[in-house]
Amino acid sequence: MSDTPTSTSAKVLSARPPLWRDAVVLKWVTQLFLLFIVLTSLWFLTSQAGDNLEARDIPSDFNFIERPVDIQLSEGIDTHPDSGGRALWVGMVNTIRISIVGIIFATILGIIVGLARLSNNWLVNRLGTMWVETLRNIPLLVQIIFYFSVLTVLPRVTLESGPINGWFHISNKGISMPRVFLADGFYQWLVVVLIGAVVGYYVHRHRTRIHNETGTITSPTLWALAVITLFAIVGIFIHPIFSWVGSIFGALASLFDSLPVLVPQIVLSGVALVGAAMWVRKFIRKHRSARGHLSLVDDDWFRIIFTAAVSIILVFVFISWSGLSSWILNSGRDLFEVIESKFNVDGAARPFDAMRPEIIQKGKFPNYGPSGLTMSVSFAAVFFGVVFYTSAFIGENVRGGILAVPKGQIEAASAVGLRRSQALRHIILPQAFRVILPPTGNQYLNLTKNTSLAIAVGYSDIVQVGTTVFNQTGKTLPVVGIWMLFYLSCSLTISVIVNWFNVRMQLVER
Amino acid sequence: MNEIENTETSASTRDLSNAPDMIVCEGVSKWYGDFQALDDVSATIKEQEVVVVLGPSGSGKSTWIRCINRLEHHQEGRIEVDGIELTNDLRNIEKVRSEVGMVFQQFNLFPHLKVLDNVTLAPIWVRKKPKAEAEEQAAALLERVGIPEQADKYPGQLSGGQQQRVAIARALAMEPRIMLFDEPTSALDPEMIKEVLDVMKELALSGMTMMVVTHEVGFAKEVADRIIFMDDGQIVETGTPEVFFSNPTEDRTKLFLSQIL
Amino acid sequence: MSDLNITGVEGTVAIKPPPETPKLPPREWLKENLFSNKFNTLLTLFSTAILLMISRGLLSFIFNPERQWGSTATNLRLMMTQAYPEEQYMRVWVSVAVIFTLVGASMAIWNAGSRVTLRRLGSFLLSSGVVINILTLLAPFSGQAKLIWLIIGSAVAGAGGTLLRVSDKDKNISSLTLVVATLTAAILSLWIVPFGHHSFVFERTPRSMAETGTVALTTKLPWTIMVVIGILAYFFGKTMTSRFPSKNLRPTIIGIWFLTPPTLLYLVLRDPDFDMGHVLNTDIPIFLIFAIAGGILLSWLTRPTTGEIGRVCAALVLLAGFGMFFTPMRMIIRILMLLLATFALAAPTFAGDSKKQRRYVLAWIGVSGIITWLVTAVNTPSTIEVPGDFFLGGVSLTLLVAIFTIVISFPIGILLALARTSKMPIFRILSTWFIEFVRGIPLITILIFFSIMVPLFLPKGMELSEVSAIVIGYSLFSAAYLAENVRGGLQSVTRGQHEAAEAVGMTTSQKTFFIVLPQALRVSIPPLVGHCIGVFKETSLLAIIGLFDILYIARNVIPNQTEFLGSTRENLLFVSLIYFFFAYQMSKASQRLERRVGLGER
C-alpha cells in the first residue's frame, strides 16, 4: 500500500483506530490465538504420547522397515517378505491392485445399472432399482463377510481337472481362470506402440485438416486407431530391434549412482525457492494496476508471507534431512536398473503369453499353481463387495447425470437435424459426463478406501499387513503414519486424474 | 410521465446550503486487483438532501455507495458519515451500519423468515429493542410502505414490488438517518416500478437523506436535489436536475444522456 | 470411507415423484412396457431368467433343511443387548416404552400419515399374493407346506382382487390405520402362531433349548404392551393437540426427543447400588457454583452497554479454561469452564433487554446442567456385573455409537464448515487441512488408531474406555464429512444475504447465527440425512476392532457356540436384513421429508 499514484487532490490520511477496536488487528489476533491453541494442544498430546511410549519402552522409529519380520502373506508379489518395509510394500501393491481392478469393473457394472434404471422396460427398471436399493442399504462390511462365508463353503479343489475342462476352477480356495500375461518382450513392443501412437497423432491431425478444408468425411479417429493397430501388430515381429533402449536407462542409473547427495538437495531447494518467488511475482503483478498502483489487503500479505515461509521450511527440510535425497537417488537408480533389465532380454522373447491355471499338490491339500489368473477367496470377497457396492452408487450417478441433461437439448439437437446417435454422442453424453464425473471420482476414492475392509477377511492389503507388523514390533505410530501417507497419496492421485478429465471436459464444452 | 411533470413539490427547490454535512467523501479510491473501480471521488452530501447517481454500468456508482456502508473497503481517501469516519474501527462500523439503511437491487430479503420477522430481526438483536416494541414499529412501517396485510407471509410469496417495499421497511426499522438505494427498481417488472418509486418519493419528502443509484430519469428529475454523473470511477459532472438534463457541460454526460433519454 | 458425501446427488434425483401407474389394460401395458420391440423382448426374457435364478437361489438357501435358523432365534437377545443382565431387563423395556410413547405422541402432533386409496391397497395385495404364489412354486417346499403357502397366497391375492373390484375410485383409508392393523396382526400372531420357543438354559454350561408352541411370554408380553402404549400415546397426543397450540407443543416434543437418548442411556447403564454421595457433595456444588457465577457474568456480558470490555473478559475466561487442561483439575470443571467461555464469547450476539438477558442466563444454566449430568452419568459406576467394556453390545452398542457420533460431530462439523468458508485465512487453512486429511484416509485406520493409541495420548491419571475413544475418533471422522455437506449449504447462501445482514448492522456472529446457518442447514438436510445413514451403516466396522457389535456377534460368537457351529451365513443374512430395514426406512423417510419441506420452494 506504499506506492500511491499521483492524486489530484491532496492525499488524505485516515486516523488509525485503537488496537482493541481495529477489525484487522482483531481478526489476526483471533486467528493467531486459535493457531496457538491448536499448536499447544498438538504439542501437549504428542509430548504425552512420547512420554507414555518411552515409559512402555516402545520407541517410535522406523527401524522395522529394514529389520526382518516373521510374516507370511496370503498373496501378493512376495508372500515371505524379508523385512517390515517389504511387507508393507507388498500390502500397498495388493491394495493398488484390487483398487484398480475394482474401479474398472465397478464402472462397467455401474453404467449398466444406471442404464437399467433408465430403461423403459419395466422389469429391467425394477431389477436395477432392486440392485441399487439393496446394495447401498447394507453395510459394505456385512456384504464382504457374507460373500466370504459363501465362498468358503464352495466344494474343495481336487487334483482331477476342474469343473470345466481344466480351464476354470471354482472352489473354496478361490476362482481360477486362464490369463494372458506380459512376457519378456513386452517393453520393447511398447516402444513400437508408442512410436505408432505418435505417428497416429499426426495422421489424426492430417485427416482432420483435410476434413476441415474439403468437408469430406475422413474419419480421423478410425485412421489413427488403424495406424496404431498396424504398429502394434508389426511390433510383435520386429520388437527385438529396440533392445538397445535399455542402455539409455542403464546410463541414467549409473548417473544417479554417481551423483553426490548434495545435488538433489540443491535441486529441490532451488525448485522450492524459485517456485515461491515466481508465485509471489505473479501474484504481485496480478495485483498491480495498469498505472502501477499496488493494492494489497492483509490477506494478500498473509498469502505472500505464508508462501515464503513454506518455501523456507521446505528448504530447511531438504537440507537437514539428507536421507530424503539419498532415498531419491537410490530409488531412482533402482528404478532405472529395473527398467534396463526389462529391456535386456533374449531377442526371441514374445510380448505376450497365455497360461492355463494348474493345480499342484502342496502339503495335504491340493493348491493352485503359479500360473493362470487366480482370485483367492479373500480377494474375491473384497472384490465382489466393493464392485457391487460401488456399482450401486455409480449407477445412481449415471442415472442422475443423464436425467440432468435438459430435455430442450435433445429437442434442439433434433431441430438442427442431428440423428439420434449423433445427438447422443455430441450433445447428451458430453453434458451428462460432466455431471457424472465429479461424484464418480468421489466413488473411486471411496472404493480405494473401502478396500481397507479387506482386513476382515484376511486379504493382505496394507491395513492388514500393517496390523500384523505393529502387533509384532509394537511400532503402531509409524505404521499408522505410513498408512495415512499411502492413502493420502492414493486419494491425491485419483483426484488429480479426475480433475484433469474434469478440466478437459469443461474445455471441450466451450 | 405526465404525472411527474405535474407534481408541484419538487425537492430540488429546497435550499440546503446551511444544512449540516451528512456524508463527506474526500479522494476515495478503490481497486479490484488491477482494475480501478473508484478514482479520487470527492463529494459532500447535506442532511435531507436527495442525491441521484447516474452513469453507465461499470462506472463505479454501486461500488461508491457500498463503500459508504462499508460493504466494500475503500483503499484511499476518507469517508465520513454523520461525523463518523469509516475505518477498521469496529465501533465506527457498527455505528455507521445502524445510521445508514441500504436497499439492494435484488431485495435480499431473508427467505427463511416471515415478512414481520425480516423487519424486526435487526431492531431486536442490533438495536436491542424489546420484541413487542419492535413488532409494533414494524407493523407501522409495513403500513407506511403500503403492505400491512402481508406481515405473516414469507418473502417468496410476494411480488417483486412488494418484496422491495419490505426491504425498504426493513432498512427503515433501524431508524437510519441516511438511506442508500442501489438500483432499487432494476430487477422489477415495469408495472411494479411505480409502487416502489412512490414509497421512495414519500420518503424523500419526509426529509430523509437519500443517495440513489438508478436509471429512472423521471424519478431523478422530480425528486433529486442534485444529480451526480459518474464514469470510469470518477465523478464527471454534478448539478441540479434542471441544469443537468437540459444543459450538461461535459461531452461524456451529453453522450450518456443522448443514449438514455 | 463411504457413500457419506454423495447422497446430495441421489437426493436431487430422488425428488422426482414415481411415475403414475399407467391406466392401460393389462395386455397393452405388458406390450408397452415389456415387449415393445425385439430388443425389449430379449431384455425382458433375460431379466426374467435372472430374477427367477436369484429368487430360486435365495429360497433354496433359506428353506434348506441344513440351515440353522434356530441359531438366530435363540440368540436374538444376544444380538440386541449382548450380555446385559437378565434381571435388569426391566430398564431396557422401560426405555423402549419411552421411545414408543414418543413416537406415538409425535405422530399425532405432527399429523403423520397420509390417505391410501383402497384400490391401491387392493392392487398391492393382489400383486403380493401373486408374488407369494410364484415364490412358493419356486421354493423347495414339501407338498403340504407348498399347499398351505399357495392357499395363503391365493387368499391374499383374492382379497386384493375383491377390494380392487368392489371399492370406489376415491374411497381411501388412513395409512396409520393400516400400520396399526399390521402391528396388531403381528402381535396377535405372536400369541397364536407356533413360532417356537428358543432360548438358552443355564445349567452349569449354557445349553440351547427349543420348544414348539408360541414364543416365550417374556417376549410376547412386553411387545404387546409396547404396541398398546404406542397406540395410547397416539390418542394422548391427539388430545394434547386439541388442548394446546402446536406452536408450543412441537418445540416441547422436540426438546424431549433431544433429551431422551442421554436419559435412557443413563437409565440403562446406571449401577443399581449406586450411591448419591459423590453427586451430592461434589457434582451438584460444582454445578451450582458455575451456574450462579456464570449466570452473573453472562447477565453482565449480555447487557447492551458492556461493549468491547466483554470480549476481553470472554477471551480471559477462554484462556483460563484452556490453562486448566495443564493443571490437575476435575474434568467437569475443565469442561464447564470451556463451555462458559463459549457462552461468554457468544454473549454479545444475543445481547438485549432484560428479557433476553434472562433467557440467555437460563439457557446457560440449562446447558451446563445437562452437561454436568451427562458427565456425572458417564462417570457413574456404571452398571452391571459384567466386567470390562463388553457388557454393551449388539444393536444397543450400534445405536449408542451412532447416536453419540452424530450428536458430537454435528457442532464440530458446522464449526469446521464455517471455518472453511470464513474470510480468515488461518482458520480456513487449518480446517481445510483437517477435512481433506480425514477424508483421504479410511475409517478403519482411524478406528484402529483411536482404539490403540488414545490411552497413550492422555495425561497420567486420565482414562477413557475404548468405546468412548472410538466414539471420539468416529466423531472427528464424521465431522469432516458433515462439514463438507454443510459447506455445500453455506455456499448456496447468496452473497446478497450476507450483505443485507451486514447492512442492517449485524455482527458476523449474528449474521451467521440468524441468517446464514438457518438457510444453509435447510439446504443441506438431504445430504445430512444421507450422512446419518452412512454413520449408522458404518458402525459395522466396530466388529473389526473387536467390539461386540451385531456383526461381530453374528460372525464370531454365534457360529462358535457348540450347538450352532458354522451358522455364519444365516446370521449374516439376518444382520443384513436389520441394517437394510433401518437404512431403507431412513432414506425413504428423508425423501418424504424432502418433498414435504418443499426444498427450493422459497
DSSP for C490-504 reads: HHHS-HHHHHHHHHT
pLDDT, tens digit only, all 261 positions of chain B: 344 444 444 444 567 777 888 999 998 988 887 788 898 899 999 999 999 999 888 888 999 999 998 898 888 888 999 888 888 888 888 888 888 999 999 999 999 999 999 999 999 888 888 889 999 999 999 999 999 998 999 999 999 999 999 999 999 999 999 999 999 998 888 888 999 999 999 999 998 999 999 888 889 998 899 999 999 889 999 999 988 988 888 888 888 888 877
Cross-chain residue pair B71–C601, CB shorter than 8 Å: no
Task: Express each pLDDT in C304-327 by its tens digit.
Answer: 777 778 878 888 888 888 888 777
Could you tell me if B75 lies within 8 Å of chain A, comparing CB atoms?
Answer: yes
Residues, chain A, total? 510
Alpha-carbon span B30 to B43, nearest angstrom: 15
Cβ pair C504:B108 closer than 8 A: no
Identify the closest residue of chain B to C494 by CA–CA distance: B108
pLDDT at A508 exceeding the cut of 50: yes
Pick the CATH number of C401-602 from 3.40.1360.10, 3.10.105.10, 3.90.226.10, 1.10.3720.10: 1.10.3720.10
Confidence band for C40, pLDDT divided at 50, 70 and 90:
confident
- Half-sphere exposure at residue B50, Cβ-oriented, CA atoms within 13 angstroms: 24
Instruction: Give DSSP secondary structure letters for A107-130.
Output: HHHHHHHHHHHH-S-HHHHHHHHH
Task: Using the predicted structure, report yes or no on whether residue C234 has a pLDDT greater than 50.
Answer: yes
Taking each helix axis from N to C terminus, what angle separates C331-346 and C308-323, rounded to the nearest 10 degrees?
A: 160
pLDDT over threshold 90, residue C408:
no
Q: What are phi and psi of B187, to 5 degrees?
A: -95, 10
Which is higher by pLDDT, A300 or A164?
A300
Does C502 sit within 8 Å of B94, measured CB to CB?
Answer: no
Q: Which residue has the higher pLDDT, A7 or A188?
A: A188
pLDDT for C14 equals 39
Q: What is the pLDDT of residue C596?
A: 67
User: Does A22 touch chain B if contact means CB atoms closer than 8 Å?
Assistant: yes
Contact yes or no for B76 and A9 at CB 8 A: no
The per-residue pLDDT for A185 is: 81
User: What's the confidence (pLDDT) of residue A369?
Assistant: 66
Nearest chain B alpha carbon to C506: B126
For residue C5, pLDDT over 80 is answered with: no
pLDDT at residue A352 greater than cutoff 50: yes
User: Which residue, among A32, A24, C314, C514, has the nearest Cα to B93 in the 3D structure?
Assistant: A24
Terminal Cα-to-Cα distance of chain B (whole angstroms): 13
ipTM of model: 0.90
Query: How large a percentage of chain C has pLDDT more than 70?
Result: 89
Selecting from C351, C499, C602 the residue whose C-beta is nearest the C-beta of B108 gives: C499
Chain C residue with the nearest C-alpha to that of A484:
C441
**Given a cut of 80, is residue A420 above it in pLDDT?**
no
Given a cut of 80, is residue C29 above it in pLDDT? no
> Is residue C18 pLDDT above 50, yes or no?
no
Compute the average pLDDT of residues C353-357: 83
The whole-number pLDDT of residue C64 equals 80
Percentage of residues in chain C having pLDDT higher than 90: 25
First to last CA, chain A: 38
Does residue A297 belong to the interface with chain B, where contact is any CB pair within 8 Å?
yes
pLDDT band at residue A41 under the 50/70/90 scheme:
confident
Contact A461, A95 (CB under 8 A): yes
CA dist A500 and A295 (Å) reads 33
Of A23, A6, A38, A27, the residue nearest A302 (C-alpha): A27
Does the pLDDT of residue C388 top 80, yes or no?
Answer: no
Report yes or no: A1 at the B interface, CB cutoff 8 Å.
yes
Give pairs for A99-102: CB < 8 Å, separation 24+: A99/A447, A99/A448, A99/A451, A99/A490, A101/A383, A102/A383, A102/A386, A102/A387, A102/A390, A102/A447, A102/A451
Q: What is the pLDDT of residue A363?
A: 62
Chain C: residue whose CA lies nearest to A443: C3
Using a CB–CB cutoff of 8 Å, tell me whether B108 touches chain C. Answer: yes
Interface test with A, best of B24, B25, B31, B235 (most A CBs within 10 A): B31
Q: In the predicted model, what is the mean pLDDT of chain A? A: 84
Q: Is residue C554 over pLDDT 50?
A: yes
Q: Is B111 on the interface with C (CB under 8 A)?
A: yes
pLDDT band at C381 (very low <50, low <70, confident <90, very high): low
C497 contact residues in B (CB cutoff 8 A): 108, 110
Residue C395 cell numbers, joined: 444393536
Q: How far is B33 from chain A (nearest CA, A)?
A: 4
Once rounded to an integer, what is the mean pLDDT over residues C93-110? 90
Q: Longest Cα pair distance anywhere in chain C, in angstroms?
A: 87
List all residues of chain B from 32 to 51 with a beta carbon under 8 Å from chain C.
Answer: none
- Nearest CA distance, B187 vs chain C (angstrom): 14
Mean pLDDT value across residues C216-242: 89
Asked if residue B135 lies in contact with residue B143, where contact means CB atoms within 8 angstroms, the answer is no
Between B190 and C382, name the one with better pLDDT: B190
Residues of chain A with pLDDT > 70: what percent?
91
**Chain B from 153 to 212: CB within 8 A of any C CB:** 154-156, 167, 170-171, 174
Query: Is B76 within 8 Å of A15 when comparing Cβ atoms?
Result: no
Q: Is the pLDDT of residue C598 over 80?
A: no
CA distance C314 to A41: 20
The pLDDT, as a whole number, for residue A309 is: 94
Question: According to the model, what pLDDT value does residue C448 have?
Answer: 92
Name the range with the highest mean pLDDT among A144-148, C6-10, C206-210: A144-148
Output the pLDDT for position C386: 42
- Say how far apart CA C75 and CA C69 lie, in whole Å: 10
Asked whether the predicted pLDDT for residue C17 surpasses 60, the reply is no
For residues C388 and A321, the model is more confident at: A321
* Collapsed DSSP state (helix, strand, coil) of residue C351: coil
Dump pLDDT digits (tens) for A218-270. 788 888 999 999 998 888 888 878 878 888 888 999 998 888 888 999 999 99
**Could you say which of A21, A443, A467 has the minimum Cβ distance to residue C448?**
A467
The answer, for B34 touching chain A at a CB cutoff of 8 Å, is: yes
Domain boundaries defined on chain C: 1-63, 85-244, 272-381, 401-602
Residue A296, CA atoms < 13 Å, CB-side half-sphere: 19
Q: Which residue of A has its CA nearest to C16?
A: A403
**What's the rounded mean pLDDT across residues C557-575?**
86
CB A405 within 8 A of CB A432: yes
How much is the pLDDT for C392?
A: 72
pLDDT confidence of C225, banded at 50, 70, 90? very high
**Are residues C355 and B131, on separate chains, in Cβ contact within 8 Å?**
yes
pLDDT band at A507 (very low <50, low <70, confident <90, very high): low
Task: Provide the mean pLDDT of chain C.
Answer: 82
**What is the model's pLDDT at position A311?**
95
Confidence of residue A382 (pLDDT cuts 50, 70, 90): very high
Nearest residue in B to C356, CA atom: B130
Q: What 3-state class would DSSP assign to A365?
A: strand
Triad B231, B237, B240: Cα angle to 5°? 130
Question: What pLDDT band is residue C3 in, cutting at 50, 70 and 90?
Answer: very low
pLDDT surpasses 90 at A285: no
Q: Which of C110, C117, C13, C21 is nearest to C594 (CA)?
A: C13
Cβ of C457 within 8 Å of Cβ of A120? The answer is no
As a whole number of angstroms, the distance between CA C587 and CA C527 comes to 10
Q: How confident is the model at residue C7 (pLDDT cuts 50, 70, 90)?
A: very low
- CB-nearest to B31 from A8, A24, A293 is A293
Of the candidates A85, A161, A102, which has an alpha carbon nearest to the alpha carbon of residue A475?
Answer: A85
User: Which residues in C lie closer than 8 A to residue A443 (C-beta atoms)?
Assistant: 3, 6
Angstrom distance (rounded) from CA C387 to CA C196: 33
Residue of A nearest to C451 (CA): A476
